[in-house]
Every structure is written in C-alpha cells, then in structure tokens.
Structure 1
Amino acid sequence: MKGLKKQRRIQVILLAFLAIAVATALVGYAMKDGINFFRSPTQVLEQPPAPGEIFRIGGLVEDGSLTRGQGETVTFRVTDTNASVAVTFTGILPDLFEEGQGMVGTGQMQGDTFVASEILAKHDETYMPKEVIDSLKEQGVYQEPAKD
C-alpha cells in the first residue's frame, strides 16, 4: 500500500511538470510573433535585422526628408542624430506627425528601407517615446525639453 502511494505521488509530480512545460511552450509559441523589439537607426545599420523580422524603429523625423507620394504613401528618414534610415509608410499619419518630432514605427526592412505598417507620433509638445529618449541619451545628444 505504501509503495502505491509513493508511485502515485511521483506520477502526479511528473504530470504537473509536463503540464507546466507544455503550457510554457504554448505561451512562447503564441508570443513569438507578438514581440517587437525596439531599435534605433544606428542599431539597425550596425546589426541589420533578419529578413522578414518585424521590429520597432524610433527616433526623430529628419528635417527636410518628409515627402508625400501618390495617395497615402509617405517617405521620410528617421534619425537618432548619429545615423538615419529611410522609411516608407502607406496609410494615414497621426495628426501630430511632423519633421523634427519623435516617432516610433512598426514594420520590417526591405532592402535599405524600413516599410512601416504602423506609425506612432508624439501626443503633445514635450512627449517623446521612452525608447527614443533612451537611444538619444546613449548617443549623448538628448536635450531636456524647456519647462514653462
């Protein structure tokens, strides 16, 4: 009788470990496509992403680079003041999107151009995405916005 209880306990423990392993594998598989890593333009040029990899790029919209194409297609360059990457986006840009302002785009590289599926822009005069601020601080070019 004692051996049967011990055997049953071991089976329950092994089954629990198996269930945890399967659950972890399923969560990892489900999140595989949902995680988009942030990169600055310098990081994109120094360590190019894998073909087809979806990621987020952010920085400042380079002055003089914004060009509106046919329909809703827009091209511009995003910079971290150290390097810049060409960006193409087809869609409606946020109302507050403009040159010299912070932005974050989600998409993938096609050749030397980042093809964005989504563009996010600042929401007031002083906002800049945290990732962009961190990237600019790493470059040593971030300036605190003036306080009113």
Structure 2
Amino acid sequence: MKPRHKRFLLIGIALVLLGGATALVLNAFNDNLVFFHTPTEVAEGKVPQGRSFRVGGMVLAGSLTRDADGQSVRFVITDTAKTVPVFYKGALPDLFKDGKGAVAQGALGADGVFVATEVLAKHDENYMPPEAKDAIDRAHKTAQTLN
C-alpha cells in the first residue's frame, strides 16, 4: 500500500472515531439535559412525557401538607395563572415555605401530579430563580392583557 493510501486510511479511521466519540458525548448530554417549564406550560401539556424537567414558581400559600410518614410532602407551585400539584419524598430545604419561590425537578405522573426528585428554594429575601421570575412576569402580563 502506498503512503498516500495509508494516510487516507488513517484519516478515514480518525474521522470515524471522532464521529463515534461525538455521538456518545451528544447522547450523554441529551440524557442529562433538564429543561425548565412553568406551571402554565405544564397545564397546557407542553412538557416532555416520561422525561425529567424542572417546574418553578411560587409555593401556593396553604398548600403545603405532610403525609403521615413525615418524609413525604405535597404542595402546589403556581405562576399566578396556573398551578401544578407536587409530591416530594425527602427533606425539604430549610428556606422552603408557603408563598416563597421554589423549583422542583422530577417528572409528571400519569395522574397529573409532578413527582419531584429534588426541590430547591430561594436563598434570600430578594432571590428567585430567573426562570421562575420570568414565568411569573409573563403570567402577570398575560393576566393584564386579558382583563
């Protein structure tokens, strides 16, 4: 085999290996990608079925209840336009309270209840996750245009 053919063969093998590695990286990235959705998007069915995503907004005042086992909680997240019931089993962050901003990560169950695997709460009086703040601002604007 001529040196020129060997070089083309090596370049071809390198391109195939590079393409395979790129495909593996993109597949792993896609599996770990988690999108943020608002309660309005969840209510309208614009969320992935069977995939993990985040939903955020304000914890509806008076909606926080603990199950008998003491480890499970139920609450409702709202963007002031729509609400999403959430079930979470585990310890909540210390700053998690009614009427405060929160983001839950998990998946939507067949019954319409969001089953969270992780719950995040705001960490000071002025902080709210940017996605949740944008969602609430959009919901307020939509409500104002409808009135």
Q: TM-score range by the shorter chain?
A: 0.7 to 0.9
Q: TM-score, normalised by structure 2?
A: 0.86
Q: CA deviation at 1:50?
A: 4.0
Which residue matches 2:87? 88
Note if contact 2:37-2:47 (Cα within 8 Å) is conserved in structure 1.
no
Partner of 1:106: 105
Read off the aligned partner of 1:34 and give its amino acid letter: N
Q: 1:56 aligned to 2:54?
A: yes
**Alignment partners' CA distance in 1, 2:21 and 2:42:** 34
String of CA shifts for 1:29-48, please: whole Å, max 9, x gaps. Answer: 32333111111111111124
Q: Is the 8 A contact 2:105 2:116 kept in 1?
A: yes
Which one of the candidate residues 5, 8, 11 is aligned to 2:9? 11
Q: How does 1:27-38 map to 2 (within 5 A)?
A: 27-38=25-36
Moved over 6 A (4+): none
- How big is the alpha-carbon RMSD for the aligned residues of Structure 1 and Structure 2? 1.7
For residues 118-133 of structure 1, what are the structure 2 equivalents within 5 Å?
118-133=118-133
CA distance in 2 between counterparts of 1:114 and 1:67 reads: 15
More helix by share: 2
Task: Report if the CA contact (8 A) 2:52-2:105 is conserved.
Answer: yes
State the partner residue of 1:115.
115
The one-letter code of the counterpart of 1:59 is: G
Distance 1:137 1:12, change over 3 A: farther
> Which stretch shifts more, 65-74 or 8-17?
8-17
Alpha-carbon distance in structure 1 between the residues aligned to 2:100 and 2:86:
15
- Cα deviation per residue 1:91-127 (whole Å; 9 max; x = unaligned)? 1110000111111111111121001111000111111
- Normalised to the residue count of structure 1, the TM-score between the two structures is 0.85
Structure 1: unaligned runs, 5 residues or longer: 142-148
2:137 partner amino acid: K
Q: Which amino acid aligns with 1:19?
A: L
Q: Distance in 1 between matches of 2:113 and 2:6?
A: 60
